């Protein structure tokens, strides 16, 4: 693991996710920016001190040389520190599991894409919301035509933790997320907007062709957007909106997707993830559940416990890891990806970067339409 030392949030999530289904064991890390902290963090996690590295380059080099070196590395640093380590490991044929957004800048993203294209290793992006069973169900239902032709894609990801200037009062999480140098051009856009964008594309099975964005930084002094209103247009005439906000009091992680076609609709929210509304036009609304009545194989495949026992964020995240493991095993064996396995790739990461870039461009031009 690169990053995820003491005080970090997402590193711990990755570690639980990696271990939940038993497919990965943590054996080495460059966990922090200083050798001391890295060692201390490693010790806390029970790592062999010899495999607690002072930086990602040392880790990539030495692990690549070890017979029992890591097969895959998780990169859980702030955005501007994704490309560097990813490239080092990919070059050495070590599979990379990387947090989103792909990078802080499009230039880095493209460089990383070039390296990945030449690498024998896989690159997996943890757009973890695609791991939810009901999201898999939704995608399958759209794909098989349950909604008819898609007309509307309404997605929002709404939080409140940046309502006040917590970046100025000691929140490490807020500091780097509101810092263009570490996060890139998008604030809420990059942090949560890319998740919303990816989720919508994953379920709808299509990406918008153009967008118009109005960005705001409501908190005085904040350099990046903390609210984004985006209108979307798709190639076939479908339309949508994406709303990302980190300044809406009362919202914790309100990621919600509604999709409507000429035959029916779907409605899913991350805070109650084991349920999915299916609303066939002219018929009673149906509440589908994880592993429950009406569940499709795509839903059951990634469920662990019976219907009514809630699975959550960590399980969805673990599904990304489990499927990464399956993909890596298949890759190592020279086999095709097992049926049903899905994981977000570098292409998803690039799409997210283009989304952020397009929103920023549009916003600078007074919300003019920008082609994706």
Q: How far is the CB of 58 from a copy of itself (least distance, A)?
A: 25
285 touching a copy of itself, by CB under 8 A: yes
| Sequence-separated (6 or more) residues with CB below 8 Å from residue 263 | 145, 146, 147, 148, 149, 280, 281
Choose which of 197, 202, 313, 355 interacts with a copy of itself (CB under 8 A): 313
Choose which of 307, 337, 341, 372 interacts with a copy of itself (CB under 8 A): 307
Choose which of 279, 299, 319, 322 interacts with a copy of itself (CB under 8 A): 279
Q: Phi and psi of 240, rounded to 5°?
A: -170, 175
Q: How far is the CB of 257 from a copy of itself (least distance, A)?
A: 13
Per-residue interface string for the shown chain with a copy of itself, residues 34-73, x marking contact by CB under 8 A? ----------------------------------------
Structure tokens at 160: 């409140």
Say if CB 153 and CB 259 are below 8 A apart.
yes
First-to-last alpha carbon distance for the chain, in angstroms, is: 33
Q: How far is the CB of 289 from a copy of itself (least distance, A)?
A: 6
Q: Tell me whether residue 116 or residue 238 sits nearer to a copy of itself (CB atom).
A: 238
Q: Quick one: which segment of 32-40, 181-189, 288-296, 319-327 binds a copy of itself (CB under 8 A)?
A: 288-296
Of residues 142 through 161, those in contact with a copy of itself by CB under 8 A are 147, 151-152, 154, 159-160
* 9 SS3 class: coil
193 touching a copy of itself, by CB under 8 A: no
110 touching a copy of itself, by CB under 8 A: no
As a whole number of angstroms, the distance between CA 355 and CA 146 comes to 28
As a whole number of angstroms, the distance between CA 365 and CA 213 comes to 9
Choose which of 123, 268, 278, 321 interacts with a copy of itself (CB under 8 A): 278
Measured CA to CA in angstroms, residue 104 lies from 47, 187, 193, 213, 362 at distances of 30, 11, 14, 19, 18
Q: Phi and psi of 28, rounded to 5°?
A: -155, 160
Q: What is the DSSP string of 166-215?
A: GGGTT-HHHHHHT-HHHH-S-SHIIIIIHHHHHHHHHHHT---SEEEEEE
Whole-number CA gyration radius for the chain: 20
Q: How far is the CB of 140 from a copy of itself (least distance, A)?
A: 15
21 touching a copy of itself, by CB under 8 A: yes
Of residues 206 through 245, those in contact with a copy of itself by CB under 8 A are 212, 214, 216, 218, 227, 229, 231, 233, 237, 239-241, 243, 245
């Amino acid at each position: 693991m690169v990053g995820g030392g003491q005080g970090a949030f997402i590193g711990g999530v990755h570690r639980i996710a990696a271990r939940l289904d038993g497919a990965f064991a943590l054996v080495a890390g460059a966990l922090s920016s200083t050798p001391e902290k890295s060692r201390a963090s490693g010790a806390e996690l029970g790592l062999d001190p010899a495999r607690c590295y002072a930086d990602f380059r040392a880790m990539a080099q030495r692990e690549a040389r070890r017979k029992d070196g890591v097969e895959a590395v998780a990169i859980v640093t702030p955005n501007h520190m994704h490309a560097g380590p990813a490239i080092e490991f990919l070059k050495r044929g070590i599979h990379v599991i990387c947090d989103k957004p792909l990078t802080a800048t499009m230039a880095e993203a493209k460089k990383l894409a070039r390296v990945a294209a030449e690498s024998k290793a896989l690159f997996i992006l943890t757009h973890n919301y695609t791991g939810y069973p009901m999201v898999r169900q939704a995608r399958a239902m759209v794909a098989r035509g349950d909604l008819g032709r898609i007309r509307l894609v309404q997605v929002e990801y709404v939080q409140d933790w940046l309502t006040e200037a917590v970046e100025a009062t000691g929140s490490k999480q807020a500091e780097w997320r509101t810092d263009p140098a570490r996060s890139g051009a998008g604030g809420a856009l990059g942090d949560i907007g890319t998740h919303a964008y990816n989720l919508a594309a994953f379920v709808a099975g299509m990406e918008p062709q153009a967008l118009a964005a109005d960005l705001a930084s409501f908190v005085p002094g904040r350099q990046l957007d903390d609210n984004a209103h985006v209108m979307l247009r798709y190639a076939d005439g479908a339309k949508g909106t994406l709303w990302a906000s980190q300044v809406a009091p009362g919202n914790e992680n309100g990621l919600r997707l509604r999709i409507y076609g000429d035959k029916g609709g779907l409605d899913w929210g991350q805070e109650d993830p084991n349920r999915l509304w299916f609303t066939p036009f002219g018929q009673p609304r149906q509440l589908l559940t994880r592993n429950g009545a009406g569940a499709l194989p795509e839903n059951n495949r990634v469920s662990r416990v019976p219907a009514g026992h809630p699975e959550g964020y960590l399980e969805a995240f673990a599904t990304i890891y489990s499927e990464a493991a399956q993909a890596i095993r298949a890759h190592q064996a020279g086999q095709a990806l097992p049926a049903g396995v899905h994981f977000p790739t570098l292409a998803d990461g690039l799409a997210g970067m283009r989304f952020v870039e397009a929103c920023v461009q549009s916003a600078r031009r007074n919300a003019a339409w920008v082609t994706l």
